[in-house]
Amino acid sequence: MCQSNHHKPYTRRDFLTKTSLGLGAATFASFLDPTSLAAQAIDGIGSGPHFAPKAKRVIYLFQSGAPSQIDLFDPKPVLTRLTGQELPESIRKGQRLTGMTAGQASFPLVGHQFEFKQHGQSGATLSELMPYTAEIADELCFIKSMHTEAINHDPAITFFQTGSQFPGRPSVGAWLSYGLGSDNQNLPGFVVLVTKDKMGQPLYSRLWGNGFLPSEHQGVQFRAGKDPVLYLTNPPGVDELSRGNQIDHLNQLQEKQYDEFADPEIKARMAQYEMAFRMQTSVPEVMDISQEPDYIYDMYGPDVKKPGTFAANCLLARRLAEKGVKFIQLFHQGWDQHGALRQNLPKQTLETDQPSAALIKDLKQRGMLEDTLVIWGGEFGRTSYSQGNINSEYFGRDHHGNCFTIFMAGAGVKKGMTYGQTDEFSYNVAENPVHIHDFNATLLHLLGIDHERLTYKFQGRRYRLTDVHGNVVKDILDA
């Protein structure tokens, strides 16, 4: 199929405002790699990285609901010692409470509920709930000083994914698709896998949407089940040949429409039809994990053969990465332990610990970890004080945005490192704060993009993922 349909079109306004520069860029770029024409960024800068990238692809293991940093990564002996006592006002400093705990009469501190040890040569601190991750602790870079202003899930995840608490902006994957293009013509450049049948905070397709960017940059959700991508397979009675003919004819009509109206969305739609046609063969192929050797299944754990589980999705993520998909995002819900922390947190880690570690090991032994960036984390952290009666078996922790932990592995991040520190109450950041904007700036940096230069003009001004904020965290970058 001809790739030139991906070429971003010229509107009359574009022509008038950018003639010489625009035409030049259009012709030169076509000399280069055809696969990168998918990201012909006339408003953006260039059609590739701004400087040599360390990572070529990202696997983002998003833990939706907010895993408790105190019980998994950042234990605080002071909390254990002061269990039952009130959170001091000098520490809280008037931080707003959510509606769920605002009604509480007291805010008793409660220490970590699980045992902690230091692991590997780097001495990374991890709880007993994550033994598999502990085995590869020396590959990981922990950021303990993440912070966000958001206090509730939807704005917080939206903030992480799009750079703003208000919906409407493109997601990280869409920005990357726009800035870097795709490495594989037959698969979307941005794939999303959500763990099936998990209860928890809702997720919306706008979290992997394209916002105001052309719609070909949106994330495509692959589902577990007979049809990984909805409405992809041909209905009964329609075979590949007739489908191909249909698309060709449709294209002719679309071209006519485009000649008349020059609406960029027409081109985007055409591109996606063609991509869908190619995906009819490529998607079933990549989703079929039955041919993997047994030791791979063992490495990912018992869930891997059940489609839709986090483990199965991790294995799929590796397969997608092998095929050159640039941005693979997994969502796993259920970390929102407002109650039953002791009971439910272990269930969550049982589902995620082994597969996450297995994914990193699998990438490493295939030599892919050196140019793949793996990220693990949620949208914020949890409070040092208990939600609900502290003496109850089923107490929990509320949302906490002032500090939380994320870890990364792979391309361009220092191995065996812990960056940033929280105070003794795990309430505020004590050293080296990393805001979500800083995190996103660093993410783009690892992919070779200057976060201040990848922009898109919309509603009269230029937008970027980090908007007007964000500093690259140089200390975690590996050389």
Positions in the binding site for another protein (CB under 8 A): 28, 31-36, 45-46, 48-53, 183-186, 299, 322-324, 361-362, 364-367, 370, 448, 479
CA distance 173 to 373: 13
CA distance 289 to 284: 10
Minimum distance between the CB of residue 292 and another protein, rounded to whole angstroms?
Answer: 13
Could you identify the residue written with the tokens 């269930």? 347
CB of 372 closer than 8 Å to CB of 321: yes
Minimum distance between the CB of residue 9 and another protein, rounded to whole angstroms?
Answer: 23
Minimum distance between the CB of residue 448 and another protein, rounded to whole angstroms?
Answer: 6
Nearest to residue 153, comparing CAs of 380, 337, 395? 380
Minimum distance between the CB of residue 256 and another protein, rounded to whole angstroms?
Answer: 30
- For another protein, the closer CB: 34 or 167: 34
- For another protein, the closer CB: 185 or 257: 185
CB of 66 closer than 8 Å to CB of 397: no
What would you report as the CA-atom Rg of the chain, rounded to the nearest whole angstrom?
Answer: 23
Minimum distance between the CB of residue 55 and another protein, rounded to whole angstroms?
Answer: 13
- For another protein, the closer CB: 355 or 396: 355
- For another protein, the closer CB: 23 or 32: 32
CA distance 437 to 169: 14
Nearest to residue 119, comparing CAs of 105, 145, 139, 104? 139
Q: Widest CA span of the chain, in angstroms?
A: 73
- For another protein, the closer CB: 85 or 184: 184
Minimum distance between the CB of residue 139 and another protein, rounded to whole angstroms?
Answer: 11
- For another protein, the closer CB: 71 or 139: 139
- Three-state SS for 100? coil
- For another protein, the closer CB: 161 or 186: 186
- For another protein, the closer CB: 196 or 361: 361
- For another protein, the closer CB: 322 or 452: 322
Minimum distance between the CB of residue 136 and another protein, rounded to whole angstroms?
Answer: 9
Determine if residue 470 is left, alpha or beta; phi over 0 gives left, psi from -120 to 50 gives alpha, anything else beta: left
User: CB under 8 Å to 260, separation ≥6 — which residues?
Assistant: none
Type of residue at 291? Q
- For another protein, the closer CB: 167 or 324: 324
CB of 401 closer than 8 Å to CB of 98: no
Burial class (CB in 10 A: 0-12, 13-18, 19+), 149: middle
- For another protein, the closer CB: 16 or 479: 479
Nearest to residue 411, comparing CAs of 382, 437, 444? 444
Minimum distance between the CB of residue 387 and another protein, rounded to whole angstroms?
Answer: 39
Give Cα separations from 144 to 126, 209, 405 (angstroms).
12, 28, 4
Minimum distance between the CB of residue 119 and another protein, rounded to whole angstroms?
Answer: 16
Minimum distance between the CB of residue 132 and another protein, rounded to whole angstroms?
Answer: 11
CB of 379 closer than 8 Å to CB of 148: yes
β-pair partners for 400:
381
- For another protein, the closer CB: 157 or 286: 286
CB of 330 closer than 8 Å to CB of 59: yes
Minimum distance between the CB of residue 296 and another protein, rounded to whole angstroms?
Answer: 10
Strands (E), 78-169: 116-119, 124-127, 140-147
Give Cα separations from 313 to 39, 203, 301 (angstroms).
27, 17, 12
Give Cα separations from 339 to 272, 397, 462 (angstroms).
44, 7, 43
Minimum distance between the CB of residue 413 and another protein, rounded to whole angstroms?
Answer: 15
Paired tokens of 85: 């006592």
CA distance 154 to 332: 15
CA distance 31 to 101: 59
